[in-house]
């Protein structure tokens, strides 16, 4: 019996050693990291009501299933642009505009290769909740690898915005208005310009949001050349960009906008981009007429003017050449007139002296 026990224990020990010595299977290697999601959701929900909606996620990988874990995080802004700054830390403090307490999403999902899944989600606003804008982000994470020196993980994010109607505090302050150079990859940075030697593609305005709601201004910009040429930008916020709570946001409006229809994953989509406008050299005045205001609140207006000079190098060169030519002509004319007026007297006086 003793012998049998020792043989059995030895066998168990061998099996355990053998199992622990086996290489760990690369768990994540068999999962997809290619997904398609909805980037943004917008809701208007009255206090005491809820919205039930769906999230459609597609696994783009033809061979492997997509395993995603999902969680809700808060976000704010990075700079004066529209890039969200996600608060990913587990212990990140909840923001005052957080939608986390009201937003429900599943914790995980597995999607078969080249298939899509529709998940239920809901936003429920408690009774008596104050009006304003509330926003958070749903993060979908594929499993990261624990192997190697550098592991890779892919995540997608859906930004969720909810307006709770009612009386809100709306306060946008204009900080800057002017001609604007858009960023050139690997070259020039985006910036306001007062004296432009190249044609500015856009007019920009910077607004500081001191209210308790996100704002998307609308309106128009009128561009007037010193000699009367006039251009009107009818839509100053074509992408319905938002100034988040507390953000100083720069909105850009193309002076000349070109749109085209493109095919995206088999569906028609509209794309637009700034192109080089036709501008005459000289001084331009800019007049901004912007409006904002939530449903049921006062419509507020921002009226402002600014100006810029467009002086291309060729124009500066032409002006300099013209000035030189003009100076030369004046100098020659003055000399010629002097010669005619005083030249004969000088000759006469010199004759008298003789």
The verdict on 227 binding another protein (CB under 8 A) reads no
**Residue numbers 66-85 binding another protein by CB under 8 A:** 78, 81-85
The verdict on 6 binding another protein (CB under 8 A) reads no
Q: Which is nearer to another protein, 219 or 281 (CB)?
A: 219
* Cα–Cα distance measured from residue 246 to residue 78, given in angstroms and rounded to the nearest whole number: 12
**Residue numbers 206-225 binding another protein by CB under 8 A:** 214, 216, 218-220
Q: Which is nearer to another protein, 88 or 311 (CB)?
A: 88
Q: Which two tokens stand for residue 248?
A: 């100083």
**Residue numbers 105-144 binding another protein by CB under 8 A:** 137, 139, 141-142, 144
Binds another protein (CB under 8 A): choice among 292, 306, 308, 310: 292
In what order do the strands lie in the sheet containing 191-193?
A: 191-193, 172-181, 202-209, 248-254
Provide φ and ψ at 18, rounded to 5°.
-60, -45
The verdict on 46 binding another protein (CB under 8 A) reads no
Q: Which is nearer to another protein, 272 or 344 (CB)?
A: 272
What's the min distance (Å) between Cβ of 62 and another protein? 6
Q: Which residues are registered as beta bridge partners of 56?
A: 118
**Residue numbers 231-250 binding another protein by CB under 8 A:** 232, 234-235, 238-242, 244
The verdict on 35 binding another protein (CB under 8 A) reads yes
Q: Which of 88, 86, 83, 103 is nearest to 43 (CA)?
A: 103
**Residue numbers 153-182 binding another protein by CB under 8 A:** 153-159, 161, 163
Provide φ and ψ at 316, rounded to 5°.
-60, -45
The verdict on 32 binding another protein (CB under 8 A) reads yes
What length does the chain have?
354
Q: Which is nearer to another protein, 201 or 281 (CB)?
A: 201
Binds another protein (CB under 8 A): choice among 17, 44, 324, 346: 44
The verdict on 36 binding another protein (CB under 8 A) reads yes
Question: Looking at 35-43, 172-180, 305-313, 321-329, which segment touches another protein (CB under 8 A)?
Answer: 35-43
Q: Which is nearer to another protein, 166 or 277 (CB)?
A: 166
Q: DSSP letter at 185?
A: T
DSSP state letters, 52-110: EEEEEEEE--SSS-EEEEEEEE-EEESSSSS-EEE--STTPPPPTT--GGGEE--SEEE
- Asked whether 194 and 180 are in contact (CB, 8 A), the reply is no
Q: Which residue has the tokens 């969720």?
A: 160
What's the min distance (Å) between Cβ of 34 and another protein? 3
Q: Which positions ≥6 away from 311 have C-beta within 8 Å? A: 195, 196, 197, 281, 282
The verdict on 295 binding another protein (CB under 8 A) reads yes
Question: Looking at 96-104, 172-180, 228-236, 336-344, which segment touches another protein (CB under 8 A)?
Answer: 228-236
The verdict on 62 binding another protein (CB under 8 A) reads yes
Q: DSSP letter at 47?
A: T
Q: Which positions ≥6 away from 26 have C-beta within 8 Å? A: 145, 147
Residues binding another protein: number (CB under 8 A): 92
Question: Looking at 2-10, 11-19, 285-293, 332-340, which segment touches another protein (CB under 8 A)?
Answer: 285-293
């Amino acid at each position: 019996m003793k012998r049998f026990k020792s043989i059995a224990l030895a066998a168990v020990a061998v099996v355990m050693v053998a199992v622990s010595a086996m290489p760990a299977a690369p768990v994540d290697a068999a999962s997809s990291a290619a997904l398609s999601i909805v980037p943004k959701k917008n809701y208007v929900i009255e206090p005491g009501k809820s919205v039930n909606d769906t999230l459609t996620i597609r696994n783009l990988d033809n061979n492997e299933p997509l395993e995603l874990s999902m969680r809700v995080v808060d976000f704010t802004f990075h700079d004066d642009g529209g890039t969200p700054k996600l608060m990913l830390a587990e212990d990140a403090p909840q923001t005052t505009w957080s939608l986390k307490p009201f937003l429900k999403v599943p914790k995980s999902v597995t999607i078969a290769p080249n298939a899509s899944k529709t998940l239920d989600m809901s936003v429920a606003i408690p009774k008596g909740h104050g009006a304003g804008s509330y926003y958070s982000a749903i993060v979908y994470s594929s499993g990261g690898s624990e192997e190697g020196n550098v592991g890779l993980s892919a995540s997608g994010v859906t930004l969720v915005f909810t307006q709770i109607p009612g009386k809100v505090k709306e306060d946008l302050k204009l900080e800057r208005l002017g001609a604007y150079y858009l960023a050139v990859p690997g070259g020039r940075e985006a910036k306001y310009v007062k004296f432009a030697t190249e044609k500015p593609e856009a007019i920009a305005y910077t607004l500081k949001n001191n209210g308790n709601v996100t704002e998307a201004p609308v309106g128009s910009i009128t561009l007037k050349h010193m000699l009367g040429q006039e251009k009107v930008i009818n839509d100053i916020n074509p992408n319905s960009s938002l100034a988040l709570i507390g953000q100083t946001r720069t909105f850009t409006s193309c002076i000349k906008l070109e749109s085209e229809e493109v095919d995206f994953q088999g569906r028609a989509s509209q794309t637009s981009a700034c192109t080089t406008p036709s501008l005459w050299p000289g001084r331009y005045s800019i007049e901004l007429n912007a409006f904002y205001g939530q449903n049921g609140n006062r419509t507020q207006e921002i009226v402002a003017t600014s100006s810029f000079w467009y002086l291309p190098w060729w124009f500066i060169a032409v002006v300099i050449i013209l000035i030189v030519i003009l100076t030369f002509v004046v100098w020659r004319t003055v000399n010629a007139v002097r010669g005619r007026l005083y030249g004969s007297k000088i000759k006469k006086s010199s004759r008298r002296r003789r």
